Amino acid sequence: LALPQRSPFHLQKIEDGHLNNSLGSPVQADVYFPRLIVPFCGHIKGGMRPGKKILVMGIVDLNPESFGISLTCGESEDPPADVAIELKAVFTERQFVRNSCVAGEWGEEQSSIPYFPFIPDQPFRVEILCEHPRFRIFVDGHQLFDFYHRIETLSAIDTIKINGDLQLTKLG
Condensed to tens digits (0 to 9), the pLDDT of residues 51-99 reads 999 999 999 999 999 999 999 999 988 888 999 999 999 999 999 999 9
> What residues are paired with 85 via a beta bridge?
71
Per-residue model confidence (pLDDT) at position 80: 87
**DSSP code per residue over 110-165:** B---SS----TT-EEEEEEEE-SSEEEEEETTEEEEEEE-S-S-GGG--EEEEEES
pLDDT score of 143 more than 50: yes
The dihedral of CA 117, 148, 159, 171: what is its sign?
Answer: positive
pLDDT at 97: 97
Lowest-confidence pick of 20-24, 32-36, 142-146: 20-24
Domains defined for the chain, CATH in brackets: 40-171 (2.60.120.200)
pLDDT band at 8; cut points 50, 70, 90: very low
